[in-house]
Amino acid sequence: MIRIAPDGARLDIDLPQEFGKPDWVCVTRISGVRVQRDFHVTAVGQYQVIQKKMMPGASKRVFARKGYDVHLYEAADRSDSCLVWVGPYHEATTWFGAAAPRSELLASLINSIHFEDSENGAQVRPSVPQMSQQHGTLVAAWSEWAFLCIRPAEEAAAVLPEWRGLVRDDQEIWRSDRGLEGAEGERLAGTAYQWRYVVAGPQTVTELTFHPPGSPLRPQALSDDPDRRASAVLDGLRATWAG
């Protein structure tokens, strides 16, 4: 399947069926003149939670643009606020952690971000690329079984272990202890749940973990052979990152 990363890169991902149905989440960071912001991109609709659950009684302002709206939410006590770019398929959120900035700064921020939505992912890029940098972009997916995080190889080199991994075709695979503790750690020792898998391909570094039974991310009723599923996902997983 094809996904568009927030920085405009095109990802071609082979995701085995054993991974489950993915919910995509992307993260990116833009820093430049008067802009220093992190953005989270998710499927559209999450913004409704802000007024319902996260900040009940929050005020909302909408700035209409062609193809998307920009929503400004501010908590009733002005302790937090966020800006959400809402397109037809995806939304991008950035949190201020304080009262909303004054309107000149808001306008300047909205104007300095180029938001372009499509079915396969939304782009959140600086509108003047010469004056800002975009980095820390990653594309992640949740399913009922597992969590997956894809980064471009040039940014992810630092997370790779120093020792040699298992070489398979043009990929190298490592597993490292994910640090489960106490009774859970003992119970899951020796299974696929114990590990965080890192797959380094020519263009991407992918991290993969499986939700252990009892995890809030995993529906109670699911049960399966974790090792078989882990090897099926690792076998079929391919990701290229172009642009």
Partner 1 sequence: MALSLPAALALLAILVAVFALVAVAGVYSRLRQVEQVIADLTVGGGRRDTLPASLRPQPGESATVLLTLDGECPICHRLAKAVEEEMATAAWAGLRVVRVFSSIDARDRHPDVVAMETVADPDVWAAVYEGYNPTLSVVNAAGEVIFRRFVYADTNLTELLAEASAVGLAQGKRAPSREAV
Tokens of 63: 């700035």
Q: Identify which of residues 40 and 125 has a Cβ nearer to partner 1 in the complex.
A: 125
| Min separation Cβ 232 and partner 1, Å | 32
Please report, to the nearest 10 degrees, the dihedral formed by the alpha carbons of residues 179, 180, 182, 186 taken in order: -110
| Min separation Cβ 23 and partner 1, Å | 17
| Min separation Cβ 30 and partner 1, Å | 13
Q: Identify which of residues 64 and 221 has a Cβ nearer to partner 1 in the complex.
A: 64
| Min separation Cβ 162 and partner 1, Å | 42
**Across the chain, which distance is largest between two alpha carbons, in Å?**
56
Q: Identify which of residues 109 and 150 has a Cβ nearer to partner 1 in the complex.
A: 109
**For tokens 């009684």, what's the residue?**
57
Q: Identify which of residues 67 and 161 has a Cβ nearer to partner 1 in the complex.
A: 67
Q: Identify which of residues 99 and 131 has a Cβ nearer to partner 1 in the complex.
A: 131
| Min separation Cβ 128 and partner 1, Å | 5
Output the CA angle 64-70-74, nearest 5 degrees: 125
Q: Which helix (H) or strand (E) holds 42?
A: strand 35-43
Measured between alpha carbons, how far is residue 219 from residues 43, 132, 188, 222, 226 in Å? Answer: 21, 42, 18, 6, 15
Site residues for partner 1 per CB under 8 A: 33-34, 64-69, 87-89, 108, 110-112, 114-118, 127-128, 131
Phi-psi region of 34 (alpha: psi -120 to 50; beta: other; left: phi over 0): left
Q: Identify which of residues 98 and 131 has a Cβ nearer to partner 1 in the complex.
A: 131
Helix/strand/coil for 154: helix
| Min separation Cβ 35 and partner 1, Å | 8
Rounded Cα gap, residues 222 and 110, in angstroms: 43
